[in-house]
């Protein structure tokens, strides 16, 4: 299912075509000039104090790296050429059938304009069709084409391969526990979002309980811009 209409959003390093130009991998404990370590040498627990860069090695950093490793695996392949965010729309249509753009926007918690742009891109790629809704003239009915259905099937295979690679060595019990922990973590963050509807901010309250410096905001200098690839969707 190789369509090039939509380029993957996460391009990463650029290949030079020169086999001698590969990045040098640093040996553990012996970094050299220009070396690119596969993984930073993690300090012992407590060696880096909060406020002194501890976030570089904490749990959020590990989840961040896992997310990007997963995305590179999925979007740098020669079988399914979809942009970031597009596969979930196709999968939704495969599960729930013909849907409206408003249903998609509500399910994925996206604004209608973002869903509209995604629908237009998927239409250009031949993955979906959109026709006037039978009972609502203001809406459009969106459904998969045959090519879209084939793409969903190929995407499911790719994701299953990713799961097997990522969870190699995990027992069935560990896989279930891992999935449960991720789901609970997500639920905690969603609860924090919903708590900001006027009932208070649990996160702010927790930081306040830790002391006056725990939640101090830090602003970057005016002449410092974000590094390429650090902004946007993670």
pLDDT digits (tens, 9 = 90+) for 70-96: 989 988 888 888 888 899 999 999 999
Cα–Cα distance, 88 to 105 (Å, whole number) = 12
pLDDT digits (tens, 9 = 90+) for 175-211: 999 999 999 999 998 888 777 655 555 555 554 454 4
Contact 85, 233 (CB under 8 A): yes
Q: CA torsion sign, 86 to 8 to 64 to 225?
A: negative
pLDDT at 209: 52
Average pLDDT rounded to a whole number, residues 16-25:
37
Pull the structure tokens for residue 140: 């459009």
The residue written with tokens 């390429």 in the block is 228
> Who has greater pLDDT, 40 or 6?
40
Task: Please state which architecture CATH assigns to domain 82-194.
Answer: Orthogonal Bundle (1.10)
Q: Kindly give the pairing relationship between strand 99-100 and strand 128-132.
A: unpaired
Cα–Cα distance, 91 to 153 (Å, whole number) = 9
Pull the structure tokens for residue 72: 């590179």
Instruction: Give the domain ranges of the chain.
Output: 82-194
Give the ranges where the chain is alpha helix by DSSP (H): 59-75, 86-96, 101-108, 112-124, 146-166, 172-194, 202-210
pLDDT at 157: 95
DSSP string, 120-139: HHHHHTTSEEEEE-SS-TT-
């Amino acid at each position: 299912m190789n369509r090039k209409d939509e380029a993957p959003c996460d391009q990463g390093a650029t290949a030079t075509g020169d086999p001698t130009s590969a990045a040098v991998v640093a040996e553990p404990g012996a970094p050299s000039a220009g070396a690119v370590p596969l993984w930073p040498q993690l300090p012992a627990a407590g060696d880096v104090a909060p406020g002194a860069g501890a976030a570089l090695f904490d749990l959020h950093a590990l989840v961040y790296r896992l997310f990007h490793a997963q995305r590179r695996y999925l979007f740098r392949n020669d079988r399914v050429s979809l942009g970031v965010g597009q596969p979930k729309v196709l999968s939704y249509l495969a599960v729930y059938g013909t849907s409206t753009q408003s249903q998609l926007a509500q399910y994925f918690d996206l604004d209608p304009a973002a869903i509209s742009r995604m629908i237009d891109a998927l239409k250009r790629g031949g993955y979906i069709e959109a026709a006037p809704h039978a009972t609502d003239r203001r809406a459009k009915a969106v459904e998969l084409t045959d090519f879209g259905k084939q793409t969903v099937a190929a995407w499911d295979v790719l994701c299953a391969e990713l799961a097997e690679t990522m969870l190699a060595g995990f027992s069935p019990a560990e896989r279930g526990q891992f999935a449960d922990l991720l789901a609970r973590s997500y639920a905690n963050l969603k609860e924090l979002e919903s708590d900001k509807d006027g009932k208070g901010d649990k996160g702010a309250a927790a930081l306040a309980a830790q002391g006056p410096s725990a939640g101090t905001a830090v602003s970057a200098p005016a002449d410092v811009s974000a590094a390429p690839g650090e902004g946007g969707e993670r």
